[in-house]
Structure 1
């Protein structure tokens, strides 16, 4: 398949600018102006051939040279030694994204491509440009992206002088899904099936034409599920050009970078960005499944917000997701099931409800006073983020006739909380009005004290 290719010389001023702007680049790349290389794959390993190397000599010439210098044959054998990517990942662990990108492009030449989503991973394209090497770019067009994302694709192509290769889902598969389940079935039974049709399978087709790919995965994008992303690895899920396990290498140059530093880099380099970012969008995917987040919220809260955070992956990076010892919202727990985090919402104005206590609230058709309760888990970063505002809510409602409470809904209480307390993801806030038998779930992602108070006052 044809992928976007670009090659532009890098001047000394560009390198100086990149080094000054780049948050982790402490080492200069002395090979940026070296000749391009091509990489050939064999079952024995990787062999590197310089594109501007001398033409192949005939067998007699090679034999004569080898007889006069037997070491040449051994040297040729050494070229095809298999790469240990675990060791390479350790060697590059402290390297800058620019150095890692340069290594990836140098090693795989025309057999590697950058996966571009239309979000802040435009940084990958900028790093690739700064290496001075040719690079290819592909993107998955699910057919349901925001208009802003499509316009951004066009802007990126013009800025870098490239043509992005778009991979589309199979029309028959999309048609079958929509005919059977409608356009918005993911709101009812989860996003995995739709993502599988519109994203995972097109990605699989794209990767079958490559021997390596470059992604924008960062550890801080989802600390519970992506905290162990290496800078380079043999892809554990997808297959490359030669097929079979181990036929595809995955590079994650910004794995160790922080989101704030990526944005500092983009601003310094005057790189075009998706206009959705200015509207509060951080992690950008399909239009029906992406929304803006508020200050203090984690970026993944803007994706598939109606589901548990553990499920907030589309399947493109399944091999990097931690599945063992991970709780509902993707936060790690100890092997024995206990959590290292202290309890939350500890205040004289917040009542701690037991299972029996919350069940009693559910049974009452008329209450002498209203209650507001948060269903939470101490390890949940989103619960931790709203602790101050919820304690403040307790202070504001003290003596008002509205009780403020908390109920821990993880572990053995999770199934009960999902069935009886409308738990979708943590935290879930419920209001038990005086004269209503059913609790009302707080619908907003705004978790400041004033927003919570407005909700209570409106219904009580």
Structure 2
């Protein structure tokens, strides 16, 4: 332990007493050293911006050294008994005060408060804006990234570009090899397509992140409210992390900063272009939200950006666990009272037929219909259903009087099992066509939800 505090005043004074100190028994030497050192510890009310050890050099100072994870660099700063306590602060109040602050102001505040105890989480997507903001503050900063082992080649090349552009070393954190081997050997390389992405993400992302954050008191993310309306619409610019623990350990030991929470996606991109910041080449190929290669794909016209992630799952599962605290159970209070969740309905127009279970069952029974029907199975809380509302309403208006009826069927809750069995519901929204001369509905196979694509489907099969 003594080597970690050799630069402290207590250690300097202890060296002048070495002649008498050496005469003490070994146990007494250890006790005497601790007493000398602790007498010069900072008070518990020390300011956030103070360093734990003045001899520690910031990660992005000259001649930076690459670390495999954040933990080693943070763990060597000082032994547990020398860690300063964080002063208490009302982060809800601070979030309100910073609501109208610019991302640059918020970034500067975060770096000022936490210094070497905070790091930027960089995924290789448009959150490179965070690094640019940190660079513009003129303060030293740290950057870390989770290398899951399954990222796109373009993402790895982008990491290298960013390091060279900002003269930094990204602190990469990796999953435990034994856990990855166990998962792959037991369930195969692509088990997430069958049983969901949560297990794989837990091994490759969540656990490594948890380990990395244990070496920090705060972290900075690129979350925006408009990224995922179902899970991120209430993201504040700063908060006590509701899921992960920091260096001190326990609830409330980690602070989470979201400098671009109130910024629209288009404005982030305008900033990147204005500053001529390098970006991942995958963006030019239609990728917006970028994660692991098997679980990320370009988005199509009419789709929300998060639909490029884990597209085989329901909308409310579109978080990997890194920001699990955002996920709220929209049914929790209502279901506790035996009621359906209270949310605004979708696709409200005079040219839309609101079908019940009986109505759907009748359509299924008819073998020779007078009119064709196109029906969307939806859930009002689903952000992807919300995203296609305008185009589907426009479709209903265009098909008025054409011999094709347009309907909607709310298929969540008690109706979900029926819709999965009888109507091939996969995820929300699912569109099916009941042709005039077919007893079974035909599922719309594409995820293009613009009006022209939906019209082409109808015209080809009615």
Query: TM-score interval w.r.t. the shorter chain?
Result: 0.7 to 0.9
**1:42–1:155: structure 2 CA closer, same or farther, 3 Å change rule?**
farther
Q: 2:171 aligns with which of 156, 162, 165?
A: 165
Instruction: Tell me the equivalent position of 1:12.
Output: none
Of the structure 1 ranges 361-370 and 413-422, higher mean CA displacement relative to structure 2 is found in: 361-370
What SS does the aligned partner of 1:220 have?
coil
1:43 Cα shift? 6.0
1:406 Cα shift? 2.2
Q: Measure, in 2, the Cα distance between the counterparts of 1:233 and 1:358.
A: 46
**1:405–1:336: structure 2 CA closer, same or farther, 3 Å change rule?**
closer
**1:309–1:366: structure 2 CA closer, same or farther, 3 Å change rule?**
same
1:213 Cα shift? 1.0
Structure 1: state its 5+ residue gaps: 1-39, 55-78, 328-333
Q: 1:104 aligns with which of 91, 96, 110?
A: 110
What SS does the aligned partner of 1:221 have?
coil
1:206 Cα shift? 0.9
1:202 Cα shift? 0.8
- Decide whether the 8 Å contact of 2:394 with 2:451 is kept in 1: yes
Instruction: Tell me the equivalent position of 1:421.
Output: 423
Q: Measure, in 2, the Cα distance between the counterparts of 1:458 and 1:136.
A: 55
Q: 2:258 matched to 1:252?
A: yes
1:398 Cα shift? 5.6
1:443 Cα shift? 1.9
- Decide whether the 8 Å contact of 2:225 with 2:261 is kept in 1: yes
Q: Measure, in 1, the Cα distance between the counterparts of 2:54 and 2:193.
A: 56
Q: Measure, in 1, the Cα distance between the counterparts of 2:338 and 2:265.
A: 30
Instruction: Tell me the equivalent position of 2:159.
Output: 153
Instruction: Tell me the equivalent position of 1:177.
Output: 183
Instruction: Tell me the equivalent position of 2:228.
Output: 222
Q: Measure, in 1, the Cα distance between the counterparts of 2:443 and 2:223.
A: 34
Instruction: Tell me the equivalent position of 2:133.
Output: 127
Q: 2:445 aligns with which of 433, 443, 446?
A: 443
Q: 1:287 aligns with which of 277, 284, 293?
A: 293
Q: Measure, in 1, the Cα distance between the counterparts of 2:441 and 2:389.
A: 22
**1:197–1:352: structure 2 CA closer, same or farther, 3 Å change rule?**
same
1:369 Cα shift? 5.3
- Decide whether the 8 Å contact of 1:347 with 1:391 is kept in 2: no
- Decide whether the 8 Å contact of 1:365 with 1:437 is kept in 2: yes
Q: What TM-score, normalized by structure 1, do the two folds share?
A: 0.76
What SS does the aligned partner of 2:223 have?
coil
1:345 Cα shift? 5.0
Instruction: Tell me the equivalent position of 1:73.
Output: none
CA shift digits 1:318-365 (9 cap, x unpaired): 1233334589xxxxxx996454535515244x4432211211233456
Q: 2:277 aligns with which of 271, 282, 296?
A: 271
Q: 2:457 aligns with which of 452, 455, 458?
A: 455
Q: What TM-score, normalized by structure 2, do the two folds share?
A: 0.76
- Decide whether the 8 Å contact of 1:224 with 1:326 is kept in 2: no
What SS does the aligned partner of 2:298 have?
coil
- Decide whether the 8 Å contact of 2:51 with 2:116 is kept in 1: no
- Decide whether the 8 Å contact of 1:41 with 1:47 is kept in 2: no
Q: 2:307 aligns with which of 301, 309, 328?
A: 301
Q: How many residues align?
A: 391
Q: 1:83 aligns with which of 84, 89, 106?
A: 89
What SS does the aligned partner of 1:169 have?
coil
1:85 Cα shift? 2.6
What SS does the aligned partner of 1:284 have?
coil
Q: Measure, in 2, the Cα distance between the counterparts of 1:364 and 1:190.
A: 36
Q: Measure, in 2, the Cα distance between the counterparts of 1:323 and 1:44.
A: 38
CA shift digits 1:115-161 (9 cap, x unpaired): 00011110100010011111111101111111211111111111111
Instruction: Tell me the equivalent position of 2:14.
Output: none
Q: Measure, in 1, the Cα distance between the counterparts of 2:42 and 2:109.
A: 17
Instruction: Tell me the equivalent position of 2:69.
Output: none
1:215 Cα shift? 0.8
1:426 Cα shift? 2.4
Instruction: Tell me the equivalent position of 1:192.
Output: 198
What SS does the aligned partner of 1:372 have?
strand
- Decide whether the 8 Å contact of 2:372 with 2:435 is kept in 1: yes
Q: Measure, in 2, the Cα distance between the counterparts of 1:254 and 1:154.
A: 24
Instruction: Tell me the equivalent position of 1:13.
Output: none
- Decide whether the 8 Å contact of 1:46 with 1:83 is kept in 2: no
Q: 2:362 matched to 1:360?
A: yes
Instruction: Tell me the equivalent position of 2:24.
Output: none
**1:436–1:207: structure 2 CA closer, same or farther, 3 Å change rule?**
same
**1:179–1:338: structure 2 CA closer, same or farther, 3 Å change rule?**
closer
Root-mean-square deviation (CA, aligned residues, Å) is 3.1
Of the structure 1 ranges 429-438 and 138-147, higher mean CA displacement relative to structure 2 is found in: 429-438
- Decide whether the 8 Å contact of 2:315 with 2:384 is kept in 1: no
Q: Measure, in 2, the Cα distance between the counterparts of 1:450 and 1:96.
A: 39
What SS does the aligned partner of 2:219 have?
strand
Q: Measure, in 2, the Cα distance between the counterparts of 1:120 and 1:85.
A: 26
Structure 2: state its 5+ residue gaps: 1-40, 56-84
Q: 1:341 aligns with which of 320, 339, 344?
A: 344
What SS does the aligned partner of 1:219 have?
coil
**1:374–1:137: structure 2 CA closer, same or farther, 3 Å change rule?**
same
Instruction: Tell me the equivalent position of 2:82.
Output: none
Q: Measure, in 2, the Cα distance between the counterparts of 1:458 and 1:344.
A: 24
Q: Measure, in 2, the Cα distance between the counterparts of 1:149 and 1:50.
A: 33
